Chains A and B, each alone.
Chain A
Amino acid sequence: MIDPEELRTRARDLLEGGQVRAVIGYRRGTRGWAAEPVVITRSEEAQDLVWDPSCVHNLALYLVQDRRRRGVLRGPPDRPIGILAKGCDARAIVVLMQENYVQRDEVYIIGLSCESSGMLDERKLAGAAEGIDPQDLEAVDFEGDAFVLSSRHQQWRLPAAGVMAERCLECRNPCPKVHDTLLGKEPREQERRGQALTPAMSDPFAELQRFEQTADSVEARWDFWSRQFDRCIRCFACRSVCPMCYCEECMVDSISFVVTPDTTAQEKANRLRWIERSASRSDNIGYHLTRALHLAGRCIDCGECERVCPVRIPLRLLNTKMERESRERFGYEPGASVEVAALLSSFRDDDPNDFIR
């Protein structure tokens, strides 16, 4: 397991040495035991950085925010920005690089291996074990294949697999493949699978399969998804939290298109509002399915959309479905390599369809 002190030292050195202009990481939040994302620019802030099972957020999102801010400032970055990256975060960064949204030399990746563990799912924790009230918890920590939960007066050691986020149980690469420096170890394949810890870990689409077995007809799936989407309140948290949703213009939201002094009245008047703001079933479905399709071959399954959803729509099911399609049909794994062309911007000579060739 990574010693957080090692992480702080690495960040401090990078900032002191001027190798990076900032480090995107996690610090202790004021909301209970959960860590929160932070961007530090001074070396003395490195002592605030933490690494524990509450570091759920995909920090690649803040690379996107950083680029947006630089767009406003119109300044090219003089130095790279440092970023802590779990396996999933690193896959997201790779997609951003594949799509030329960020350049490799603009980013200094401090890889963090989750090794044989993963992140805590706050919702699973509720009712996970007798006597633990998540409300009382002050801290969570890694300890081998367990999480250690601490309240002010007490400690519990829980098998991690029982309260780990589903996407971590199904994780493709707990250790970042692309990095400038790596903390923690690459778990050996057999180690990861061999541990009784996570039977699911051998199958990246376990939850999807469970769903498909339960809802095994078109009607059953329609009923299921109608009920899920009816709950949507269109807070757009799933879109806001997604590092892949970096479009300046979003088709579900035509009023937030980019307006420059050169945008004509005609252009503004003719923007189509494809999907209404109303949280109605048809508009909600339009929104979520459009988003899922736009993430096909791009979503790296950080699971953030599902985690942040205040009304618990199981969005991972949509996204992993698209991911499995891209894997099975094209042998493509999103976020695996910067060198590989992105799925939707490439084609093969032996593609079965004529139109693409």
Chain B
Amino acid sequence: MEGNSYLPQLARVVDIHEEVPGERAIKTFRLEFIDGDGFSHKCGQCAMLSIFGRGESMISIASSPLVHGYKQFSIMRAGRVTSAFHELAVGALVGIRGPFGNSFPVNDWHGKHLVFIGGGCGLAPIWPVIQTAVTKREDFGDITVFYGGRSPRDIMYRSELEKLRGAAEVYLSVDSPEDGWEEFCGFVPANLMEKEPSPEDAIAITCGPPAMIKFVIKNLHALGFQDEQIYTTVENKMKCGIGKCGRCNLGKDYVCTKGPVYSWADLKELPQEY
């Protein structure tokens, strides 16, 4: 059926990487469309992933748009569909439809310093931007990445973060340290205040648990960042992805089409129903 937005394409799981163990486990899945190239996407967009018989879940696309041939998704085990993903083996076929939503205005940020602030699985939605910025390193000023988890075991993309060093300043943190942890101990917003990134010509991009985002924004303001310099992504329950099923809206905007990326200047004007 031509133009049927609800019909998923099939994609094969070609790689599974365990990022974080435990109750809130995170695994990264690499998916290849079985029919041609599938769709292209922009930084910050999402896709609806299916396991037939279980249902669908909206997940941000964690790979850079500059990468062709596959798409990556980092999925935390949380409910019916995501748990089923965690049971999958390489070779399984899943459904995928998208891409959905707007994107980070990366092209408007050329020449600017980028400050990324992520927590928990909130690194995944901003990871394509980090990858794009590092790949096109000369287009941007300084790149700084703050990222934290509960414990060292909860740090996702560990080896990829290490590879960023050199191209970017990387500041990791954990809430509860273990032996051998040599970086910051404490919450992400506190790490941010300690390193004091300058708001001069800078854009801050943050994603993580709602409580973290709240304090990050507060601290960014304290550091002199204006609302227009702060970007974040919103997640709400979604079913259709195309602005029809009616549940993800913040006021007049459906997050699945007008979001998930918002500047704080825009987001603070909308009903805070997320």
Instruction: Count residues on chain A whose CB falls below 8 Å from chain B CBs.
Output: 6
Interface residue B78 (Cβ < 8 Å from any Cβ of A): yes
Count residues on chain B whose CB falls below 8 Å from chain A CBs: 9
- Which chain A residue shows the least CB distance to B76? A265
Give the secondary structure class of B's interface. Answer: loop
Chain A residues near B84 (CB, 8 Å)?
A: 269
Q: Which residues of A contact B83 (CB under 8 A)?
A: 265-266, 268-269
Secondary structure class of chain A's binding surface, majority of residues: helix
Q: List 19 A-B contacts (CB under 8 A).
A: A264-B23, A265-B23, A265-B24, A265-B77, A265-B78, A265-B79, A265-B82, A265-B83, A266-B83, A268-B78, A268-B79, A268-B80, A268-B83, A269-B79, A269-B80, A269-B82, A269-B83, A269-B84, A271-B80
> A residues bordering B, Cβ < 8 Å?
264-266, 268-269, 271
Q: Which residues of B contact A (CB under 8 A)?
A: 23-24, 77-80, 82-84
CB-CB under 8 A from B78, the residues of chain A are 265, 268
Task: Return A12 CB to nearest CB of chain B, in Å.
Answer: 38
Interfacial chain A residues near B80, Cβ < 8 Å: 268-269, 271
Distance in angstroms from B20 CB to nearest chain A CB is 13
Q: Which residue of B lies closest to A273 (CB)?
A: B80
In the assembled complex, the Cα of A269 lies from the Cα of B79 at a distance in Å of: 5
B81 (CB) vs chain A CBs: closest residue: A269
What is the minimal beta-carbon distance from A226 to any residue of chain B, in angstroms?
A: 29
**Set of chain B residues within 8 Å of A268, measured between Cβ atoms:** 78-80, 83
Q: Please give 5 more A-B residue pairs, beta carbons under 8 A apart, in addition to A264-B23, A266-B83.
A: A265-B78, A265-B82, A265-B83, A269-B80, A271-B80
Closest to B25 in A: A265
Residue of chain B at shortest CB distance from A262: B23
Residues of B within 8 A of A264 (CB): 23
**Complex Cα distance A269/B86, Å?**
11
A-B complex: 7 closest residue pairs judged by Cβ atoms = A269-B83, A268-B79, A265-B77, A269-B80, A265-B83, A265-B78, A269-B79
Chain A residues with CB under 8 Å of B77's CB are 265
Residue of A nearest to B77 (CB): A265
Q: Separation in Å of the A36 CB from the closest CB of chain B?
A: 27
Roughly how many angstroms separate A265 CA and B83 CA in the complex, as a whole number? 7
Interface centre among A264, A265, A266, A271 (most CB of B within 10 A): A265
Shortest A11–chain B CB gap in Å is: 36
Query: B86's closest neighbor in chain A, by CB?
Result: A265
Contacts of B82 in A (CB 8 A): 265, 269
CB distance from A262 to the nearest CB of B (A): 10
